[in-house]
Amino acid sequence: MYKESVTDVFFDLDHTLWDFERNSALTFQKILAECGVGIDLNEFLKAYVPINLKFWKLYREGKINKSELRYQRLKTTFDSLKYGVGDDLIDTLADQYIVHLSSYNHLFPNTIEVLNYLKPNYKLHIITNGFQEVQDRKLRNANIDSFFDQVINSEMAGAKKPDPSIFQLALEKAKTVPQNSIMIGDSLEADILGAKAVGLHTLHFNAHNEPKHDYCCMIHDLNEIKLFL
C-alpha cells in the first residue's frame, strides 16, 4: 500500500518492538524479591499495569514530570493494594526498576525478521516518549540499535508524542518529509493521531486489543507490515 511513496519508517519502541510488559514483569519479579516486598507478583502487576498507563498519559500531557511519574505509579499501586510502604522503599524500587529494566530484552515476535526485511529498502528510525538513558540501553542490549538511523526521544525534543514538534524534529533529523514517512506504533493517541496530525502515513500495531477504528490500518503481528511495505 505504501511501497510507492514511503522512504522512511518511524517506529515506537515500547509496546511495539520491545515487549515492555514482559520485560517489566521480569524486572519487578527481581526487585520486589530483592527488596523484601511480600506481595504476589501477579496481584501487583494486575494493579500496576493500568496505573502505569494512566500516569504515562499524564506525563505525555505535561501534567506530571519524570520523577513524579516514577514515584506516583508505584505509590498508587501499593495504596490500591493496601500494602504499606515508605517513601524510601518506593524511591529504591523506582531507582532499581530503571537500573534493571533494560537488562531484559524480549522483543515482540518477528521484530528482527521485519527489521531485516525493511532495512535494505527504507531508512528506519525510532520516536519514543521513553527516557533517553533507558531507551538507548534497551536498543543496545536487545541488539537492534544498528537498524536505526535516528532515535528521537521526548527529552531531546522537549515534547512528547502526540505533540507535533517531536514528529517535526524526527523528520528534520531523518531529512525526510511527512508524505514519504510512516509511523508504526501501539498508541492510538500518541503514535497514530499524533503522526497523522503532521501528515505522516500511519499503521497501528494493536498491542492492547483495542477496538477497530477508521483512522488507519491496524495490524496484530509485526509480520503484517510486509503487506504494506
C-beta of residue 160 within 8 angstroms of C-beta of residue 57: no
What residue ranges do the domains of the chain occupy? Answer: 8-19+107-227, 20-101
Task: Confirm whether 8-19+107-227 and 20-101 share one CATH topology.
Answer: no
Q: What is the pLDDT of residue 14?
A: 96
Length of the chain: 229
Q: At what angle do helices 66-80 and 41-60 cross, to 10 degrees?
A: 140
pLDDT over threshold 80, residue 2:
no
Strand partners, 202: 183
pLDDT digits (tens, 9 = 90+) for 162-219: 999 999 999 999 999 999 999 999 999 999 999 999 999 999 999 988 899 999 999 9
CATH 1.10.150.240 is the classification of domain 20-101: yes
Q: Which CATH superfamily is domain 8-19+107-227 in?
A: HAD superfamily/HAD-like (3.40.50.1000)
pLDDT digits (tens, 9 = 90+) for 29-50: 999 999 999 999 999 999 999 9
pLDDT grade for 133, boundaries at 50, 70 and 90 = confident
Amino acid at 193: L
Give the pTM: 0.92
Supply 108's cell numbers: 515482540
